[in-house]
Structure 1
Amino acid sequence: MAAIDEFLKLQMIQKLELSFSNARELRSRAEMLPSGLSWKCQTITLIHPTKSLIHLFWRDPVECLESLFSNPLFHDKLDFIPRQVYTMAAWLLRVYSEWLTGNSAWDMQSQFPRGATILGTMLSSDKTNITTMTGARIAHPLLLSLTNIHMRTCTKLSSKAFMLTALLPIPKYLHPNQWMHGMLEEHLIHECLLIVLKPLMIVAEVGIMMSDPVGNVRHCFAPLAAYIVDTPEAAMLTITVDPDDLEAYFEACAEHQLNGVHAPFWQGFLHADPSIFLMPEPLHHWHKEFYDHDLQWCLKVVGAWEVDFRFSILQPITGYCHFAGGISKLKKVTGRVHQDIQHYIIGLISSVAPCHFVTVIRALMDVQYLAQCPAPNDDLLSSINRYLLTFHEHKDIIMTLGARMGGKKPIDNWFIPKLELLQSITSSMRKVGALIQWSADVTEHVHVSEIKDPARRTNNNDYDPQICRHLDREEKLRCFAIATTLKSHPESHDLCYDAPEEEERELDNTDYDEREPLDPWTALLEEMNHTCITTNYFSKAKKLATLGHKERLYPPRTFIGSTTAIHLNYNLSRSGVKLEDISIDYNIPDLHGMLSNFLQCDARD
């Protein structure tokens, strides 16, 4: 607020004669806008004492779902009817992409009234750090989205397809037994989820009338379609036992690795099956499995020093991380680093590791790469099963080489939860569509806009209510911007756009990514979300080639060489460098002669 006040005191800003003169007045103007979804605060009473009162901040998930479903910017980004997609007219090769193309949505549709619309609910919860150096505060957000939104839109961060529905409490218990704290927290999470999701359970059973983005009223049911969580939270949500005495039962839970939850939240959901909505998740289950197990086996078999050396001498490539110091001592490794290591690992170990060991690692890598396909078909699913079978046929080599190590001694079992989840990839794809759309990469980035950015604008005290207040104000401004923008574009209300026949034929021969948005509301979505559009340098070079000699820039910055499009930056990445140094660094011995020829040709033109 102090920065805003300082900015408003500038002489050039004061000449604008704004209706506010300081940050407090600006916020008061924002509070006058029509309110959006209201936040609720509920105090949770517990049997076991905690250091402070437990407050649950949440808002109605049905209202969140309705807000997403009626958002005018998603009018052409929604599907309503389950379908089965085949690549052949004989219905031999089925394709699984969106959630509505899977068997789960297809089976649900037959159990609801005729003409009903299924709105699949997608949930996501994962703890995230608010502060690291001061207090180490942690938030546990519950995000909600709609599976009917197209995969390409939902996974795009700027689309705002995820909404913060609740801030789950993270209490500090005073119980003397430290091991009890985890189980008590898991009980509390299920209790809070029951409170937050109760309105959604009613809608999943009896339905509700909702208006879609173009004003059509539909009878909608909202079953639980997907829950994006990491491995520990997935175990917390599925294992259920009825404890009579928590103190006596704790020892039995520890022995059998149970969490003791006797009332899981999903019991109240109609058509909610944890074996379906808790599907394998790419970030925590595939990439993390590779780093925690596959890579550690490689380091043990090949040797950490040898692997680090081979990574350090790799040629740096734009767009890929270069590991100049190796990878064996990396800390705070992100999912992007996991993927960068996967790009190189097979080639680096193929010449030094035993053949059967390379076969095992490559089989797992093939599974993970194929499983990320956005539109897998039955042939691809068969390939995944085949590579999994190859792994199981040769996995004994890992035990033989002593690569399966614990802290100090070898491990003689295959009790790896992430590895076991790989077995359910094909069955999950057939039920819920492509698994890449359920990746936590998107929700992890949503934590920045929904939790971390609002937390930075607080006074570092009582984060939860201030985060809710900030998001409420931000939502008011966003809704106001949508309304005023649509009002100022009268042509955007006409959704019935008919493309001429010539234009339709042209679109049929155009790649999907190259099509220009024809609908005004679609263009408005791109404009308001500040969506980054990837430039097609092939088409750009072709357009430049059609220009006349006078209109064409010389020398050309964008051109095509065989199958490669080249675009030269206007601003140099390195400046003030001698030609001799460039010739040596980039191994261009004839740079002087070629540059001289170029300057002579340029002088003649």
Structure 2
Amino acid sequence: MDTSLHKSPYSDGSLILCADCHRQFASYDLLVTHISLDHSHLYSALQGLSSQPGSDTKYLHPHAGFQFRGERLPNVFEAFESDKHAEERAFNPCYPFLNADELELARWLNERLTSTEIDEFLKLKWVRRHPPSFRSCLTLRSWIEELPSGPQWRTARIELKGYDMAPRQSPPLLIYRNGLECLQFLHANPIWAPYCSPEAWLVQTGEGQRVITEFNTSLLAWKLQSVLPIGAAVVPVQFGADKLTVTGNVGDLEMHPILMTLAAIPDTIRSKLSNQAWICVGYLPTPKFNVHADYNGILTNRILHEAMDIITESLKVAAKDGAIMADGYGRARLQGLNGVHKPWWRDYPFTDPSTFCVPDLLHSVYKFFWDHFLKACQIAVGAEELDRRFAARHKRIGYAALRRVSEVKQMTGRMYREIMRSVIVMIGGAVEPRFLRAMRAIIDFFLAAQSPRHTPYSLARMTTHLRVFHENKDAIMNAGGRGTLNHWQIPKLELLSNFVPAILSRGTLPQWSCDAVEHLLRTEAKKPFLKFTNRHRNDFGEQCARHLDRVEKMQLFELYALFKTHGVGLQHALPSATAVDDVEINEASSTGLARTWVLHALPDTVTGAEYCIRARRTSRNLFATGSLTMIDSKVAYHLTKRPAAMYTIDQVATTYNLADFHAALADYAQGFDLDRRGGAIRWSSPSQDVGFDFVNTWETYRIQMLSTHDDAVRLDPETLRAIPPNAKFPFGMCDAVLIDSLKPDGEVRQRSLIVQVRSVFEPVPRPDCVLPSHLCTPLIYVQDFAFADLDEKGHPCKTPDILMYRLQRRCYPDVRGISQRAGEVIPLYNVVRPVDISPVFGGRIMDTRLNELTSLELPYEFWLNDMWDTELHETLAVDYE
């Protein structure tokens, strides 16, 4: 067995070099601590400053980009005020269209219909009775072509002398835009102005540890800013490209679009495609030569490099000499261009493949897990047995059901994610301990790599996860997990050792993910090809470029006309960059930047101007609109105005099959919780009066939380269920949650914090009666779980190898001596977050009675799956030492 290629890199005695001061260290643990505390070039300018405990402190690089006083350049929208129709737009901002309504119609027709379909639409009788000012598609597109344009599209022929093209193949044609013009276009767009931050920043926690989030907080950004002339700004460019087949079920036509964005735009903004932070800069040739198949790829790569040389030629000149560009406010800045992601790199200053080729989470994590580690689990456990376990997982709203996983040929990234986060509890009991420990370590590493915020502690923890995997990976091979391969020589596994250095030098990895690029390949290539080109002609690439150009022109012109129609100047419409905080950045990312800009500039309009700006559907903000939100709380709740039903107290007990519901409610009404009763089952009688007779009940409720990584980030709401037993759900369908450790009176809760919500209700007061305050709020009846493993001090501890908390249902004997589940009534606002619990399967063969309806009802023991939720995983981070 040859595993020398992947021998643990943390125990072979090799030294790790610091890229900044060239000191050598024995481990990444020491390196990340050194970077955080000892770099003199980072801290020499910060002497006399200190962080405030409990909060992050930001320091701007002293050489960060300066503005040229008194000098101003036009931004992209102001071009409409200097073209040949500027005089007409002084009276009609929508010229050449009659008004905003016709402009909206023109944009819709241009984006959604082909030329033939537009002409057919304009010939409809109703349209002829209410005709727009343009009477044909030719007229419409000629008007659009006259609008001011963004970066111009160009073409260039690329030849390889001595090689003939394959039959029916045209010579390679590059359709592209000037790289520097695209960069200037993005940088001068006022939509990004309040949020774009090209300056290098040093961020520290209250304890003095360095924080790494976006690119501008990374070591590379600070280092590049230090070597550039004083006053120049670093403008990091991110490229993404991939080749795809654009024909449907037949044909072999391919396109290779290349896309560009600014890494200075926050990741939360540029990762949402509706914000349109990416721009298509070209279509690379996809030639086929009349040579042996082995040489076709070599020649294609030569064409690719020449094409990238043409696109980035102006960028390389600007990187050497700098370039004065306008930002979104029109202010002139001297820019130095560095930090490019995934382009061709020759003759590009300050760039190197080891610098700009950043690990991609989609392929380096999820696809890697699917191709190798899931296959190892299927071999070790058995594909059919593992499928049964996945199918028996408790189904939650918003998450896919994982049925017949081994038979699926193609999956979405989200399904990859859900399988990866649940596989540990699925293989528990069916594999030997070191196999389980290795799998736990590598998935811990994958989850930690997805964090949007890192400190030296979190990076050291990542290296420990990877070290533990290398120390135990032979158990996977011994169980046959590598199949016929008797080695670990996997390039993607070798790449994992570069994750920590990549985070240190380029910032967190989620911002470099290819998710956005994978989607844009369809919108920038496949959709235009299928809908807006004559695919029987060889110039379909040029047709796609013309379509994208028209769409871009109309998008810019519609925004310009909207502001001018309402008499708002473009400069006055922009919020100040200094006034925008992290909360507003995330709000704008959720709402859409264009719509946020319109709402800011036109706050008093009652015409619904922002609705003409199309954006993604925003997630609901329960902190603003929820039915239950506590002051300064990180959790918000929502119940529908109309409850599912109204029952008497005894009817609830019967309908929900909760024998002790009345007694538990009476205990809560008198303030007797489980801790105060000293562990006794009940103090109240099942027939005791509680001050009301009826309750309103809900079968679903919504919860929304703030991120544990950043309080400014509002997570998407989740819908949870508390459905009573019925024909569809014989045992009911109820989700598990984590509850607050602090009780309303400030005491610390001594019992379990993991509960299953069986009923959500609110008391209905009797006529002319006022209920106490603790009864005038939504309540929940919960059945809790006890921690099975305790240390010598009685504190919960994790089970070895699987490193999860093992839970047991808390039960008590009733008057007949039959074991019954114990229940409690607590306020809804005690719920902190939903959690995922899975049954302890306990052997190689799963109990055949278990399925998605019974997996939380029949078993006695469960795992608290902290890997299902990256937020909870961060909170319960595993320390292997």
The normalised TM-score by structure 1 is 0.80
Instruction: Give the letter for the 1:153 counterpart.
Output: I
Question: Which blocks of at least 5 consecutive residues in structure 1 are unaligned?
Answer: 229-264, 547-551, 568-580, 591-597
What is the aligned partner in structure 2 of residue 211 from structure 1?
326
CA contact (8 A) 2:256 2:285 kept: yes
Instruction: Give the letter for the 2:377 counterpart.
Output: C
Cα separation, partners in 2 of 1:561 and 1:464, compared to 1, 3 Å: same
What is the aligned partner in structure 2 of residue 487 from structure 1?
564
Deviation at 1:511, TM superposition (A): 9.2
Q: Indicate yes or no: 2:591 matched with 1:477.
A: no
What is the aligned partner in structure 1 of residue 519 from structure 2?
445
Moved more, 464-473 or 183-192: 183-192
Moved more, 60-69 or 24-33: 24-33
Q: Indicate yes or no: 2:613 matched with 1:536.
A: no
Q: Indicate yes or no: 2:642 matched with 1:555.
A: yes
Aligned match for 2:202, one of 72, 76, 84: 84
Aligned equivalents of 2:333 and 2:630: distance in 1? 51
TM-superposition CA deviations, 1:440-467 (whole Å, max 9, x none):
0011111122112211221213321111
Aligned equivalents of 2:228 and 2:583: distance in 1? 39
Structure 2 counterparts to residues 190-205 of structure 1, below 5 A: 190-205=305-320
Q: Indicate yes or no: 2:135 matched with 1:21.
A: yes
Question: Which blocks of at least 5 consecutive residues in structure 2 are unaligned?
Answer: 1-114, 600-609, 632-638, 645-695, 705-723, 734-760, 769-881
TM-superposition CA deviations, 1:544-579 (whole Å, max 9, x none):
999xxxxx995259x999996379xxxxxxxxxxxx
Instruction: Give the letter for the 2:156 counterpart.
Output: Q
- SS at 1:115's partner residue? coil
Deviation at 1:494, TM superposition (A): 2.3
TM-superposition CA deviations, 1:317-356 (whole Å, max 9, x none):
22222122x1112112332221121122111111211111
Q: Indicate yes or no: 2:506 matched with 1:419.
A: no
Structure 2 counterparts to residues 343-354 of structure 1, below 5 A: 343-354=421-432
Instruction: Give the letter for the 2:492 counterpart.
Output: K
Aligned equivalents of 1:562 and 1:134: distance in 2? 49
Aligned match for 1:586, one of 710, 722, 729: 729
What is the aligned partner in structure 2 of residue 273 from structure 1?
352
Q: Which protein is richer in strand relative to its size? A: 2
Cα separation, partners in 2 of 1:511 and 1:493, compared to 1, 3 Å: closer
Instruction: Give the letter for the 1:587 counterpart.
Output: P
Aligned equivalents of 1:337 and 1:541: distance in 2? 30
Deviation at 1:508, TM superposition (A): 9.3
Instruction: Give the letter for the 1:16 counterpart.
Output: H
Aligned equivalents of 1:178 and 1:566: distance in 2? 56
Instruction: Give the letter for the 1:5 counterpart.
Output: D
Q: Indicate yes or no: 2:262 matched with 1:119.
A: no
CA contact (8 A) 1:99 1:105 kept: yes
Q: Indicate yes or no: 2:504 matched with 1:430.
A: yes
TM-superposition CA deviations, 1:230-283 (whole Å, max 9, x none):
xxxxxxxxxxxxxxxxxxxxxxxxxxxxxxxxxxx4120000021110011100
Q: Indicate yes or no: 2:131 matched with 1:54.
A: no
Aligned match for 2:480, one of 384, 402, 416: 402
Instruction: Give the letter for the 2:144 counterpart.
Output: A
TM-superposition CA deviations, 1:109-160 (whole Å, max 9, x none):
1111100011111111111221131213221111111111111111111111
CA contact (8 A) 1:73 1:524 kept: no
Deviation at 1:513, TM superposition (A): 5.2
Deviation at 1:429, TM superposition (A): 0.4
Instruction: Give the letter for the 1:80 counterpart.
Output: P
Deviation at 1:50, TM superposition (A): 1.2
Cα separation, partners in 2 of 1:6 and 1:582, compared to 1, 3 Å: farther
Q: Which protein is richer in helix relative to its size? A: 1
Structure 2 counterparts to residues 479-518 of structure 1, below 5 A: 479-489=556-566, 490=568, 493-494=571-572
What is the aligned partner in structure 2 of residue 155 from structure 1?
271
What is the aligned partner in structure 2 of residue 458 from structure 1?
533
Structure 1 vs Structure 2 CA RMSD? 3.4
CA contact (8 A) 1:145 1:162 kept: yes
TM-superposition CA deviations, 1:161-218 (whole Å, max 9, x none):
111111111111111x221111221222112111211111111110111001111000
What is the aligned partner in structure 2 of residue 292 from structure 1?
371
Aligned equivalents of 1:535 and 1:471: distance in 2? 32
Q: Indicate yes or no: 2:359 matched with 1:359.
A: no
- SS at 1:268's partner residue? coil
Aligned equivalents of 1:444 and 1:414: distance in 2? 29
Q: Indicate yes or no: 2:437 matched with 1:322.
A: no
Aligned equivalents of 2:301 and 2:522: distance in 1? 25
Deviation at 1:498, TM superposition (A): 8.6
- SS at 2:346's partner residue? helix
Moved more, 468-477 or 19-28: 19-28
Aligned equivalents of 2:421 and 2:622: distance in 1? 25
Moved more, 455-464 or 95-104: 455-464
Instruction: Give the letter for the 1:443 counterpart.
Output: V
Aligned equivalents of 2:581 and 2:575: distance in 1? 17
TM-superposition CA deviations, 1:346-394 (whole Å, max 9, x none):
1111121111111111111111111111112221111111100110110
- SS at 1:171's partner residue? coil
What is the aligned partner in structure 1 of residue 362 from structure 2?
283
Q: How many residues align?
A: 526
Aligned equivalents of 2:630 and 2:511: distance in 1? 39
- SS at 2:341's partner residue? strand
CA contact (8 A) 1:492 1:520 kept: no
Cα separation, partners in 2 of 1:514 and 1:102, compared to 1, 3 Å: closer
Higher relative contact order (CA 8 A, sep 6+): 1
Q: Indicate yes or no: 2:454 matched with 1:376.
A: yes
Moved more, 418-427 or 507-516: 507-516
Aligned equivalents of 2:120 and 2:165: distance in 1? 43
Instruction: Give the letter for the 1:202 counterpart.
Output: V
Deviation at 1:27, TM superposition (A): 1.8
Aligned equivalents of 2:732 and 2:313: distance in 1? 72
Aligned equivalents of 1:545 and 1:224: distance in 2? 44
TM-superposition CA deviations, 1:410-442 (whole Å, max 9, x none):
222221111111111111001010100000001
Deviation at 1:287, TM superposition (A): 0.6
Cα separation, partners in 2 of 1:273 and 1:481, compared to 1, 3 Å: same
Cα separation, partners in 2 of 1:39 and 1:279, compared to 1, 3 Å: same
Aligned equivalents of 1:173 and 1:103: distance in 2? 44
Aligned equivalents of 1:40 and 1:221: distance in 2? 25
Aligned equivalents of 1:561 and 1:542: distance in 2? 13
Cα separation, partners in 2 of 1:396 and 1:544, compared to 1, 3 Å: closer
What is the aligned partner in structure 2 of residue 565 from structure 1?
702
Cα separation, partners in 2 of 1:338 and 1:509, compared to 1, 3 Å: closer
Cα separation, partners in 2 of 1:282 and 1:554, compared to 1, 3 Å: closer
Aligned match for 1:35, one of 135, 149, 171: 149
What is the aligned partner in structure 2 of residue 335 from structure 1?
413
Aligned equivalents of 1:76 and 1:129: distance in 2? 38
- SS at 1:40's partner residue? strand
